[in-house]
């Protein structure tokens, strides 16, 4: 009777996760199915937020696609997410950088964080 819900949470979460936070530029490798083939589609952009809710943890990535901004929310522990790679750690003061939505051009730069 020592079984509890935390054990089951752990079984269904990925043990190795990239350490990323808001402001980082990351590449999320998503598995997509095209017809009968499966391939990996990268989605590269800035992390706007990371919602730490255990097994339901998500991250929101914002990127420029053509001349429009696209935001996508990924469940971190989903089997459709192949990997998350941190390309450039960014230095920001807030954990939710929604203000990036109002900034364009030079104002939307993020300085690099020393790791």
Residue ranges in contact with another protein by CB under 8 A: 1, 3-5, 8-9, 12, 31, 55-56, 75, 77-80
Q: Least distance in Å: CB of 29 to another protein? A: 13
Q: Least distance in Å: CB of 106 to another protein? A: 37
Number of neighbouring beta carbons within 10 Å of residue 42: 12
| Closest to 50 in 3D by CA, of 111, 108, 97 | 97
**Which residues make beta-bridge pairs with 61?**
47, 72
Cβ distance to another protein smaller for residue 13 or 27: 13
Cβ distance to another protein smaller for residue 76 or 100: 76
Q: Least distance in Å: CB of 92 to another protein? A: 28
- The C-alpha R_g of the chain, in whole angstroms, comes to 16
- Residues 81, 30: contact at Cβ < 8 Å? yes
Cβ distance to another protein smaller for residue 11 or 19: 11
């Amino acid at each position: 009777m020592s079984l509890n819900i935390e054990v089951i949470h752990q079984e269904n979460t990925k043990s190795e996760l990239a350490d990323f936070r808001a402001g980082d530029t990351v590449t999320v490798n998503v598995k997509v199915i095209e017809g009968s083939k499966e391939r990996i589609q990268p989605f590269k952009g800035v992390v706007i937020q990371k919602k730490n809710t255990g097994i339901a943890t998500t991250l929101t990535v914002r990127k420029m696609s053509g001349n429009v901004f696209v935001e996508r929310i990924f469940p971190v522990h989903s089997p459709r997410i192949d990997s998350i790679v941190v390309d450039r750690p960014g230095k920001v003061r807030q954990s939710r950088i929604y203000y990036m939505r109002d900034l364009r051009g030079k104002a939307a730069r993020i300085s690099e964080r020393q790791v």
